[in-house]
Amino acid sequence: MSADDRAPESASPDAAGRDAMAGRDAVAVPDVAAGPDTVAGRDAAAGRDAAAVPDVAAGPDTVAGRDAAAGPDAAPVPDVAAGPDTVPGPGATPGSRAAGAAPPSAGPAPPRVHDLTGRASDAHADLRAAMRAAGRDVGPDGPIALPRRITCADVTRRAFDVVVSLLALVVLAIPLALVLLLVRLESKGSPIFRQRRVGLGGREFDVLKVRTMVQGAETMGAGLAIVQGDARITRLGRLLRRTSVDELPQFWNVLRGEMAIVGPRPTVPVQVERYDERQVERLIVRPGLTGWAQVQGRTTLSWPERIEFDRWYVAHRTLRVDARILLMTVRVVLGGQGVERDGAAWSVPGGGGGGDADGPSATTDGAPEGPQGA
């Protein structure tokens, strides 16, 4: 038998034989064994050109493995793990989210607005009669009409509030910073605290004040009430309350439009929920740093008395009245009277003290200081 008539060895086919079986030119394929882990073996099984596939193992997590599973016409997939911040895989819908991905963060919840309708009937007619007999200015017995339009006085008042609050924040920035530092050095806790109050139209907002009591004061002693010589008030806090310096951060509330320079003091939601159909009328206007009730008696008045004074202001509000209140406020602050009262100005349902723990200054509002952060 001649050398040309000999059959090829079955255990070691040459490159030409493999190319003939694969239907490709022998020149394009390397002369290596066509095992399942070689380029030629994978190309033959997948029906693709060997030059187009990297010479790596075609595991499920590689480009070749995913291409083989998806078919020859599948869109290319990035060679990265499909984490929550990566492009979704071929089967993901446009609005789908990868497994384990955090949901989109929601924005801050809108402030709560109290429903001022459907309140209990007027229960303070006798109080108004007694106050009138004593020569005091109180609100009308009937309802107060709501404003129907924005007047020139409203625009002037708001412009005054913006200018004064902006100047105050600039001029008092350094002195206020020193006060806050002293408060922080005297007792632990944040020197400024935020407390939820109710303002114009029943809308809640966070009022700012300099902390004048120990941290967590509302859970100690008289609770929500404040009494003469209350031990929860710090030594520096007594001075700040007497001079109303603790109210200075509220110029920021005025600048934001949540408060005004002159108006009824903002109060806590638990009190607003107890207002009757006449008392809610104090929320017709923006709350203020100082008001008609504050220059009539500071903390010596009960809350029903303060509210009646506030109703009188709402019914008779003019720029002239505002100017009169501002002048009277200066006199009251310099006098330092009525900083603390002996007992609560209002009572909490179910017993307990009333909310006078934050009402010692000329701009008193009779609400407690809540727990403070460190």
- Chain centroid offset of residue 67 CA: 49
Instruction: Compute the C-alpha angle 78/84/85, nearest 5°.
Output: 65
pTM over cut 0.95:
no
| End-to-end CA, the chain | 102
pLDDT score at 7: 42
> At a CB cut-off of 8 Å and minimum separation 6, what does 121 contact?
276, 277
pLDDT score at 333: 84
Domain boundaries, the chain: 15-70, 125-335
Radius of gyration of the chain (CA): 39
Q: How far is CA 71 from CA 37, 47, 58, 65, 89, in A?
A: 19, 10, 14, 10, 15
Report the distance separating Cα 303 and Cα 267, nearest Å. Answer: 10
Written as tens digits, the pLDDT of the chain (374 aa) is 444 444 444 444 454 445 444 444 444 444 444 454 554 445 544 554 444 444 444 454 544 445 544 554 545 544 444 444 444 444 544 444 445 555 555 667 788 999 999 899 999 999 999 999 999 999 999 999 999 899 999 999 999 999 999 999 999 999 999 999 999 999 888 999 899 999 999 999 999 999 998 887 777 866 666 777 788 899 999 999 888 899 999 999 999 999 999 999 999 999 999 999 999 999 999 999 999 999 998 667 889 999 999 999 999 999 999 999 999 999 888 876 555 554 444 444 444 444 433 433 334 444 545 433 33
